[in-house]
Amino acid sequence: MKLFKPTAISAAVLVATSTLALAEPREVRIASHVSSFSPLHAQSELFAAEIEKRLPGQFEFKLFPGGQLGKERDLMTSVQAGSIEMINVASGVLKLDRKLGVFDLPWLFVDRDHVRQAMANGLQDAIRARVEDVGNMKVIGIYENGFRHVINTERPVAEPFDLEGLKIRISGGKFRQQVFQQMGATPQKVSWGETFTALQAGVVDGAEAATYGFYEQKHFEVARYLSLTSHVYTPSFLLASNAFFDSLTPEQQAVFVEVGQAITDQAYEVSAALEAQYFAEMEGKLAINEVDLSAFRDATASSYDDYIDAAGDEYLAIIRAAAK
């Protein structure tokens, strides 16, 4: 008996030590179609850092911005198939379903505070449930890609008629395309990576995008005007494959969901700070102007009727209530 106890204890210690030694951190890739200048990249960094605090040593996060693992549509297909663990994407999610196209409606939000209030009042939960239902993905967090503006080579855009005749590179769904057509612009399909050259060569007169996109692509070097139209607000989506999420322990699943929610306020603050930084760095390199938002809202009001006819007004009711 005297020999047995120490031997058993030694064996237990050896097994425990061996188990710890074999517990290598699990690699988790978070891929995005946009660059490291984007708020999406900052959000992924926030998430990874917070998971490390909560679950130290259990995961090794590797970030792949800038389309290194594929364009947005490819990334969504990969996460749906379970061939990549996580992605952080934006407009592509809105194409999953007509109802999600609400974010393509023009001048939906007054400002970032309105967005945050609407999300807190139930919009985030409703969007999360919808994406998970139609997208076959786990929504870890919903944050911000940002308000979109218009940059062009011809003239400042201050009122709707200023867009008349301009060839504008546009991304997003059919509602966004229709909005620009209603104001007399001609939507153009050009690869985002080729937009600089298209502006330079006159293939397009302008483009609409989030602020970081203009900045990181250096569009201010070939365009003369940046008009703060704020015509569309696009959320970002931190998504996990169902296969990856289901493979986590119950504790890990709970922490992933909790952290995804916990970093939301910080994610918005980082997005606002990045936008302010990029505006400041572009100022003086091109003319930046405010616009008459009420005139644009009036000119595009009918697009709301089209959306309601197609998808109902559930989300709009939440957004309008938050504005009050």
Query: Residues 161-179: pLDDT tens digits?
Result: 999 999 999 986 677 788 8
What is the C-alpha to C-alpha distance for residues 103 and 313, in angstroms, rounded to an integer?
Answer: 13
Burial label, 177 (beta-carbon count in 10 A; 0-12, 13-18, 19+): middle
What is the C-alpha to C-alpha distance for residues 144 and 40, in angstroms, rounded to an integer?
Answer: 7
Residue range 258-281: mean pLDDT, rounded: 96
What is the C-alpha to C-alpha distance for residues 248 and 276, in angstroms, rounded to an integer?
Answer: 38
Q: Please check whether residue 248 is in contact with residue 256, taking contact to mean a CB–CB distance below 8 angstroms.
A: yes
Residue range 178-207: mean pLDDT, rounded: 93
Going by pLDDT thresholds of 50, 70 and 90, the confidence category of residue 302 is confident
Flag whether pLDDT at 23 surpasses 60: yes
- Residue ranges of domains in the chain: 22-319
Flag whether pLDDT at 17 surpasses 60: no
**Which pLDDT belongs to residue 89?**
97
**Which pLDDT belongs to residue 78?**
98
- Report which DSSP code applies to 105: S
How many residues belong to the chain? 324
Question: Residues 118-146: pLDDT tens digits?
Answer: 999 999 999 999 999 999 999 999 999 99
**Which pLDDT belongs to residue 64?**
98
Residue of higher predicted confidence among 181 and 263: 263
The tokens of 134 are what?
A: 């139609």
Q: Please check whether residue 237 is in contact with residue 303, taking contact to mean a CB–CB distance below 8 angstroms.
A: no
Calculate the average pLDDT of the chain: 91
CB atoms closer than 10 angstroms to residue 181: 14
Residue range 302-319: mean pLDDT, rounded: 92
Residue range 286-291: mean pLDDT, rounded: 95
**Which pLDDT belongs to residue 174?**
72
Q: Which of 211, 205, 204, 212 is nearest to 230 (CA)?
A: 211
Going by pLDDT thresholds of 50, 70 and 90, the confidence category of residue 16 is very low
**Which pLDDT belongs to residue 171?**
82
Our CA angle for 113, 119, 124, nearest 5°, is 155
Please give the single-letter amino acid code of residue 17. Answer: T
What is the C-alpha to C-alpha distance for residues 187 and 111, in angstroms, rounded to an integer?
Answer: 25
3-state DSSP call for residue 17? helix
**Which pLDDT belongs to residue 10?**
44
For the domain bounded by 22-319, which CATH number is listed?
A: 3.40.190.170
Residue 166 sits at φ, ψ, to 5 deg, of -80, 135
Residue range 255-281: mean pLDDT, rounded: 96
Going by pLDDT thresholds of 50, 70 and 90, the confidence category of residue 9 is very low
**Which pLDDT belongs to residue 173?**
67
What is the C-alpha to C-alpha distance for residues 67 and 71, in angstroms, rounded to an integer?
Answer: 5
Q: Please check whether residue 104 is in contact with residue 304, taking contact to mean a CB–CB distance below 8 angstroms.
A: no
pTM of the shown model:
0.89
**Percentage helix, strand, coil, to 5, in the chain?**
55, 20, 30
Tell me the β-bridge partners of 87: 31, 239
Residue range 89-116: mean pLDDT, rounded: 93
The tokens of 228 are what?
A: 């703060």
Q: What is the DSSP string of 54-69?
A: HSTTSEEEEEE-TTTT
Question: Residues 202-214: pLDDT tens digits?
Answer: 999 999 999 999 9
